[in-house]
Amino acid sequence: MNNDKIMFEIQDLHVNIENKEILKGINLSLEEGSMHVIMGPNGSGKSTLANTIMGHPKYKASQGTIKMNGNDLLSLTPDKRAKMGVFLAFQYPVEVPGLSLSKLIWSAQSAIGINKTMKEFQDMLLEGLKIIDLDNSFTSRSVNEGLSGGEKKRCEMLQAYMLRAKFVILDEIDSGLDVDAMKHVSNMINWFVKNNSTVLLITHYQRILEHLSIDKVHIMADGRIVDSGDYSLVKKIEQEGYERYKKVM
């Protein structure tokens, strides 16, 4: 953790989907330049939390606040949240036939106010490709079309890098990654933290966490954060599962 400045804060967040309450009072504070992990059983509300932060219109906050650097995110549209530096790497990245990855990134940079010359853009792109270990040919291909699950996830990380995201939400970024890809994605995640971005990583598995420096682990169950701790909490989950949390739900 680079410092103790609170950069992102959620207070008493309740969220409904089609009149059903999914999040039931989330409280969460993340420091600038920190890495927090959220784990929990299926259906606990992890992806709902990620989508609510990003501003998906399907997810309606009925109570509570989400603030980034003191600014109220709930009052902002998704594009304005993106301009503030919020980035969500999707659990299931979509294919966009006919639009190259480089054109998508160029347009996205322009939309959030990152204005580069073509030379600056290309240099930046090559740096990102090196960190994530992708061949330059991926940038001329249609977004995610014909890519493996792991390649899609690495392209998501490249986009976050090119947009210089300040709050990076990774929803199961480790799914579909082989051992080598896991290391390269971890390198990119660590790059964000070293450069003072804040990372919220949602995962089911311990394996990616072995490559990362974790500040705090949170356990979600039934729409609530029911436990928080250091990396030792991950070890407990690996050994015991989530049974003890289900008993208190």
Tell whether 12 is covered by a domain. yes
Taking only the tens of pLDDT, the chain with its 249 residues reads: 444 689 999 999 999 998 899 999 999 999 999 999 999 999 999 999 999 999 999 999 999 999 999 999 999 999 999 999 999 998 889 999 999 999 999 999 999 999 999 999 999 999 999 999 999 999 999 999 999 988 999 999 999 999 999 999 999 999 888 898 899 999 999 999 999 999 999 998 888 999 999 999 999 999 999 999 999 999 999 888 888 887 655
Record the tokens describing residue 243, joined without a space. Answer: 């049974």
**Length of the chain in terms of residues written:** 249
Tell whether 93 is covered by a domain. yes
pLDDT recorded at residue 1: 45
Provide the total of helices (H) and of strands (E) in the chain, helices listed first.
Answer: 8, 12
Domain extent for 86: 6-246
Tell whether 91 is covered by a domain. yes
Tell whether 133 is covered by a domain. yes
Rounded Cα distance between 179 and 204, Å, is: 16
pLDDT recorded at residue 248: 55
The structural domain count of the chain equals 1
Rounded Cα distance between 13 and 66, Å, is: 8
Rounded Cα distance between 218 and 118, Å, is: 42
Tell whether 1 is covered by a domain. no
Tell whether 147 is covered by a domain. yes
pLDDT recorded at residue 206: 86
State the greatest distance between any 2 C-alpha atoms of the chain, in Å, as a whole number: 57
pLDDT recorded at residue 247: 61
- Domain of residue 115, CATH code: 3.40.50.300
Looking at residue 93, what DSSP letter applies?
Answer: P
Angle in degrees, 0-180, between the axes of helices 179-194 and 118-132, rounded to the nearest 10: 130
Looking at residue 4, what DSSP letter applies?
Answer: -
pTM given for the model:
0.93
Q: Is 53 helix (H, G, I), strand (E, B) or coil?
A: helix
Tell whether 45 is covered by a domain. yes
Tell whether 144 is covered by a domain. yes
